[in-house]
A and B are shown apart, each in its own frame.
Chain A
């Protein structure tokens, strides 16, 4: 084969591949359009639409990458091709990050300076409202209360349980039981606890176990959700129940890494178990305690589901994320909603900076 033949064969090859890629592209477009309409078709049997939805979603992403890679492969010139290749790999992820996180962040900051319908510039009025409105003040106060109580109880309880469980044979079963709530949705957990807190007027049989205990001890049944500030703590218990397992699992893993010789040395020096725990174990796993605490803190800061399902924020149980949802969907005030979102963002900004700084340190 002469060089010219080779080039012709090469061109021929490229032409065929272009044709295939283009026809697949057109086909995918029509299949996708039809299937997305079909997914919302309420005449079709539900399990069929479910299977179609799953198949389209799962196969779609792979077909997308394959086509994208083929298109890049059609570019003439090896050097240009390989320079563009990372775009196939990292491009979709970056596009999603920009569309779903970076652009919205900038847009939210921008909208927070505009009125309810995002039409007129109002300066800092939304922020002024947030910092003066009594209802939002309640949300702030509650959020801070949530952060302090839930974070400290979760980490402490997680640490205690991890230490205790570390010393028995049935460790894995006990751990699974404490950890299980992690698999339950906040909505499910809210229903579980609504039932625990259920209230019947005095004289009738109590169906909530907590009030049954109160009555059995000679007390009056309590409406746990109606009475501030008691109701806030009643809600926090749910979050603690959900999150303690997480703390326990991570702390437990860290405990296993504490060197036995260190503890042994402390004991030889005359420390009892508790002192050895406080002076050796806790300092050794301090880093883990801090990261676990931070993770719970961020989760608590954004708490929404529990409050939304249990009280809708009534009776002084409002929190920031629920308030934001209210502003968006009940009052349609995008300005105030955005200002609240910006505040949440500012609250986690230090953690973002610390994470990036840690990464830098690791790299160097």
Chain B
């Protein structure tokens, strides 16, 4: 009785080991397939123009330490001649304010929805929630006409405000969920100490809400940096203001076979979001979880 029990145990152990090995192999294959496209581009971006055109990027693995096959020239060329250096800085000019402005405005609004009394509060909040999934395509033409008549077309201010407006429902919703959970006692204690709403908001609510703010910040930063549609419609493709995604999509259109420029250009555009992603992944995941609850 005891021995059969043990034998079963050994069998199940073997089966478990085999299935966990199979599991590891399966996951490794998935991860490999998922990385392969990016890896190919990354390797190619360091290969000379002619090499990229004449042989597959995987051939470098035959002689990985032959350093004559590596070069940084693609990056130099795409930053200078491809005007991606300018576009890279423009992306910062667009993205940082277009992240901070909506967070600030949405945090004020979320505080009001959570802790202030005013007429129509619940109806307005329902409208905000309804607008979360509204397609921004709906707004493109009217805003474009509005911008043409107010000279906001092709200005950073115009694109900041557009991103702020389009991101507002989601921002308010996420921050409201957090700010409304702050214990009532804390808010009331601040009021008793004579703090105005403005002071209570800045000294108490804002610092307490930092986790939620960070989550939305990562979310919005990646969204704005990676956006093409809004940048294309309201900023355009002129060198002075075009973002890196807009320039890159131009490059695909005009020099679609210049792989040495496209590969290095794509990586220049990916550096910042990937860095942000890896250093703040925790917050990003939290933001996504909080946001996806409502679809």
Contact = CB atoms under 8 A, between A and B. Distances in A.
Report the 8 A-B pairs with minimum CB-CB distance, sorted nearest first: A57-B97, A100-B165, A185-B226, A93-B109, A183-B277, A89-B112, A104-B139, A53-B93
B139 to A, nearest CB: 4
B149 interface: no
Interface stretch (A11-19, A192-200, A277-285): A192-200
A137 interface: no
Contact of B90 (A50, A90, A290, A292): A50
Given A193-B37, A291-B292, A188 B270 contact: yes
B142 to A, nearest CB: 4
B26 A302 contact: no
B135 interface: yes
Contacts of B129: 355-356, 359
Interface residues of A, number: 112
Nearest to A245: B34
Interface of B: 20, 23-24, 26-27, 30-31, 34-38, 40-41, 44, 52-58, 85-86, 89-90, 92-93, 96-98, 100-101, 104-106, 108-109, 111-113, 116-118, 122, 124-144, 146, 155-157, 160-162, 164-166, 168-169, 172, 197-198, 201, 222, 225-229, 233, 239-241, 245, 248-249, 252-253, 256, 259, 262-263, 265-266, 269-270, 273-274, 276-278, 281, 284-285, 288-289, 292-295
Contacts of A99: 146, 165
Contact of A207 (B37, B57, B85, B127): B57
A294 interface: yes
Given A100-B139, A207-B55, A328-B141, A65 B108 contact: yes
A249 B55 contact: no
Contacts of B41: 191-192, 195
A355 B128 CA distance: 10
Contact of B116 (A86, A101, A190, A363): A86
Contacts of A168: 20, 23-24, 27
Contacts of A209: 36-37, 40, 56-58
B108 A88 contact: yes
B93 A90 contact: no
Interface in A33-69: 36, 39-40, 42, 46-47, 49-50, 53-54, 56-58, 60-62, 65, 69
